[in-house]
Amino acid sequence: MGNCLHGLFDHEEFTGALLGILLRRKGLEPSALRAVDYRAYQEEQYDLLAAALRESLDMERIYRIIEEGA
């Protein structure tokens, strides 16, 4: 099931429609939604992950291993 749903929420049209339905069921106004650029958010998260990895790993050693071999 996970493979069928992977990326489903990446599509703004689907996500917006689903959230609109859920908000109306809760008696809330869908126009109160604030649009988020998912691609930009995703890139920011990748950048944060990369920064955390760089801080946690000995990158000089990793680059040396890549260049010179084990």
The structure's pTM equals: 0.53
Tell me, what's the pLDDT at 2?
54
Could you report the per-residue pLDDT of 2-53, keeping only the tens digit for each?
556 777 787 888 888 898 999 999 999 888 777 778 889 999 999 999 999 9
Q: pLDDT class for 1, splitting at 50, 70, 90?
A: low
Question: What is the C-alpha to C-alpha distance for residues 4 and 10, in angstroms, rounded to an integer?
Answer: 13
CB contact set of 30 (below 8 Å; sequence gap of 6+): 19, 20, 23, 24
Q: Which two tokens stand for residue 51?
A: 């920064």
